[in-house]
Every structure is written in C-alpha cells, then in structure tokens.
Amino acid sequence: MSAASCLLTEDQFLCSICLDVFTDPVTIPCGHNFCKACITENWVRNVPCRCPNCIKVFYTRPELPINTFISEMAARFKASAQKEASSSSSEQEAAKLKVQQMIQKRRLKIQEMRCSVELSNEGSDREIADGVRVFTALKESVERSQAELINTVREKQRETEKQAEGFIKELEQEISELEKRSTEVEQLSQSEDHLQFLQNFQSINTALPTKDWTGINLSPPSYEGTVVRALNQLEEKLSEQMKKLIEAELKRVQQFAVDVTLDPDTEHPELILSDDGKQVKHGDIRKNLPDNPERFDTCANVLSNQSLSSGRLYYEVQVEGKTKWDLGVAGESINRKGQITLNPLDGCWRICLRNDNEYLACSDPPIRLSLKSPPQKVGVFVDYEEGLVSFYDVDAAALIYSFTGCSFTEKLYPFFSPCNNDGGKNSAPLIISPVNRNQ
C-alpha cells in the first residue's frame, strides 16, 4: 500500500470540484472520483446529472458508493500532509529560533564592542591625563632648573662685576691722589727756595700710595659643571617620574595574571619539577622519560601548561639565589630537539642571566642590559595583539626590557630554563610566584 501511495501524485487525491483532498470520495459510473458532498450538491443544481469532468449525462441519478481505496489513500495523504506541515512548522520555528539566536549573538557582540570602545576611551583618557601630568611636571622642572641655572650664572657674574667695581674705584682714587701729588711736585719744582723744596718733596714722597697691584687680577668666574649639575638634577627628577610611571604600569599589567604551572611533558629529562608544577631546578641525573615530540631533549628548558593565542598574560618568577636563568615566552612550533637557538627569529622572546651579573635580551645579536640592581623576582607580560613582551623587576618596580613590534602567529607558552646547576652554584629553583594584584 505504501509503495502504491508513493506512485500517486498530489493531484490524484484532489476533488476537481472543491480542489481539495477528497472527503468521503465516491466513484461515479464514468470512473471519475469526487467528494460525496461536492458531487451531490452539483447534481442538485444541475439537471440532468452530468459528470463535471467528462460531461457524460446520467438520466437516472447514480448511487454514490464510497471508494474505500481512494478514501484510505486520501486519509494517508492528509496525514502525511499534516505531518509534513507540522514538520515544516517545526523546522520553520527552529530556523526562526536560530536566526533570533544569531541576531542576539550579534547584538551582544555589538554591545561587547561598544563596551570595549568605552573601556578603550577610558584607558586612553587616563593615559593622556597621566602623560600630561608627567610632562607638565617635567616641563615645570626644566623651566625651574633653567631659571636656577640662569640665576646661578648671573649671580656669579654680579659678584665678578662687584669685585671689579671695587678694584676700579680703589684704583681711580689712587690715580686721583697721584695726579694731585703730581701737580704739587710740578708746583714745587718751580720754587727757587731749595730748602723749602727739599722739605715739601720729602712730605709728598712719603704720602704716595704704596699698594702693589702687580699680583692682583680679576679672573672670570668658572661655569664648568654648572649645566651638568642642572641636568643631573633633572635626571634625578625624571627617574622619580619614571619610577612612578612604571609602578602604575606594573599594577595594570598584574591584573592580567594567569595561574601558570609547568608542563611535565615538555621538561628536559635532567630537570626536576615540584609536585604542584610551580618550581623547577636542574638535577645531575637524567631521568628516563618518554621522548615525545613536545619534550626538550638537549637544552634544559620547560614550557607551561597554559598558552596565549589572543589577549594578554602576566606571570612572576622568583630568581633569587641563581647565577644563571632564562625566562620569557615561546611559540608552539619552537624546535625542541638537539642544540637549538632561541631568539625572536626562532619563535622565542626571552631574557637571561649569565655569570651571576650579566643580563641579556636574547635577540640576534644579544643586547646587554644595564640594571641598577639584580632582580629577585621577574614579571613577564605579553600583549598578543600589540606584539609586546615586557620584563619587570617586580620589587624595584623597574622595566628591565621590552620586545616590541613582535608578530605572533601561533600559541605562546611561558618559557623557563633554570640552566645547569653548575656544581651546586646554581642549584636554586625558579619559582612561579603568586601575583599580588593589590601591592
């Protein structure tokens, strides 16, 4: 029966009078089928009785027996149609719900983007305000230092002028006195009384100025070091401002702290990891570990379980008591087998300590870093979209170094190397420390 129904078309289940699916289908003598009510009404209005399809005339009104086969098939067709309609309705509702969900997701994304823009505006306003405040303070310091420099130089010049004026006044007085004596001598020389001449000349000669000006000189003031001292003072003030800025910056990046743990599947066989995955040091015994693709087999390195493929990440590591170490981030595809190079071209951004006091940014070529004091705890910050990797001396609130303009194209993993223990001199572990976001 079902096979037969599959061969019938929709038109074969429609009454040609009402154009709807048969209801109580009947077959008239000519072989055409109609709804019983439809053909009955048609024959009431039309006499003699005719077939609406072939126009055959029936002078005697035929009986109208129900065609059970067509009735059954029509019922099945109605049920199938209703099921399809129901299914179609469900599909339409599901499709509508899916569209509504897609709309809602996009509205939420718009809201998220607007929120991000608002936060970005707040951040930019805050950064501009901080920058304006700092540069205003620096500008005032420069202007104040400039004024102090000018006053110092002018004060020295005024002292020199005052000293010169004193000398000149004294010399002019002596010149006046000498000119007076010269006139008296001239007048006395014209006297014919030789006894009076001798008496007066001795008096005049005794009263002459006796100060020796030979060793008296007016030296210009020395200004050497004046500008340098002023710049040193400015440098101190600039350092104070820089420290305040770095302290504020460090507090901001600490808000992106991630609970980092070490991945034992990547550890070099001679490394020793703590049970909580927070410490790593170098041991003297090579463990028998599976040589899986993720494991470093020659260099004493280990990566974290956590990774970053967008956004920002921060973590802190205690390096106290070590004579050498490496810290940073590495790309997922970094080479882990054999003797490897580790710089940005190889997908690794790190800094390191060597020989107890040599700090390097491991670029190509390496950059020697000049630090005021050895860091005891190092903070590592990564901004994926910005292409930034920064290292901080946490306790001193100082920036150690930043890799900028990096191009990240894969997952990044925090990277650690305690280096070899150097006969016990470098046996202290690297310790991943909890971040104090409120310090």
User: For residue 155, what are its two tokens?
Assistant: 């004060």
SS3 category, 321: coil
pLDDT average, residue stretch 148-170: 86
Report whether 439 contacts 331 (CB < 8 A): no
The answer to which of 108-112, 213-217, 299-303, 333-337 has the lowest mean pLDDT is 213-217
pLDDT at 400 over 60: yes
| Mean pLDDT over each residue of the chain, to the nearest integer | 86
Please state at what angle helix 68-189 crosses helix 194-206, rounded to 10 degrees. 160
Comparing 4-8, 9-13, 235-239, 375-379, the range with the smallest average pLDDT is 4-8
pLDDT digits (tens, 9 = 90+) for 303-340: 999 999 999 999 999 999 999 999 999 999 999 998 88
Residues 8, 14, 20, CA angle at the centre, nearest 5°? 140
- In the prediction, which pLDDT does 309 show? 95
Highest mean pLDDT among 18-27, 120-129, 362-371: 362-371
pLDDT of residue 206: 63
| pLDDT above 70 (res 269) | yes
Lowest mean pLDDT among 131-145, 176-190, 381-395: 176-190
Provide mean pLDDT across the span 240-268.
91
Distance CA 415, CA 348 (A): 8
Per-residue pLDDT, 87? 66
Residue 314: beta bridge partners? 257, 381
Instruction: Tell me the DSSP string of 206-251.
Output: HTS-----TT---PPPP-TTHHHHHHHHHHHHHHHHHHHHHHHHHH
- 27-44 pLDDT, tens digit per residue, is 998 888 999 999 898 888
Indicate if the pLDDT at residue 347 is higher than 90. Answer: yes
Report which of residues 154 and 207 the model is more confident about. Answer: 154
C-alpha–C-alpha distance, residues 123 and 119, integer Å? 6
Predicted confidence at residue 85, as pLDDT, reads 65
Measured CA to CA in angstroms, residue 400 lies from 377, 389, 394 at distances of 11, 11, 10
Give the chain's radius of gyration (CA, Å).
Answer: 52
pLDDT at 188: 67
Percent of the chain exceeding pLDDT 90 equals 41
Residue 401 reports pLDDT greater than 50: yes
Q: Tokens 């950064």 belong to which residue?
A: 127
pLDDT at 220 over 70: yes
Name the nearest CA neighbour of 207 among 184, 186, 225: 184
CA distance 322 to 255: 27
Determine the Cα–Cα distance for residues 258 and 278; give it in Å rounded to an integer: 13
Six token digits for residue 63: 């009986």
How far apart CA 241 and CA 135 sit, in angstroms, is 9
Going from the C-alpha of 203 to that of each of 106, 192, 208, 336, the distances in angstroms are 116, 18, 9, 108
Indicate whether 225 pLDDT > 80.
Answer: no
Q: How far apart are CA 326 and CA 320, in angstroms?
A: 13
pTM of the full structure: 0.60
And the tokens for 321?
């008591």
More confident call, 245 vs 371: 371
**pLDDT (average), residues 243-250:** 86
DSSP 92: H
Structure token digits, residue 5? 């129904």
Beta bridge partners of residue 398, listed in sequence order: 393
What residues form DSSP beta bridges with 272? Answer: 281
pLDDT in tens, 41-77: 888 887 788 888 888 888 788 888 888 888 888 777 7
The H or E element containing residue 105 is helix 68-189
Domains in the chain and their CATH numbers?
A: 2-66 (3.30.40.10), 257-433 (2.60.120.920)
Given a cut of 50, is residue 5 above it in pLDDT?
no
Mean pLDDT lowest for which of 235-239, 296-300, 379-383?
235-239
Per-residue model confidence (pLDDT) at position 4: 43
In degrees and rounded to multiples of 5, residue 98 shows phi and psi of -65, -45
Reported confidence tier of residue 2, pLDDT bands at 50, 70, 90: very low
**CA separation, residue 193 to residues 197, 198, 200, 201, 207 (Å):** 6, 9, 11, 12, 21
| Nearest CA among 238, 222, 281, 217 for reference residue 420 | 281
**Average pLDDT of the residues in 240-246:** 82
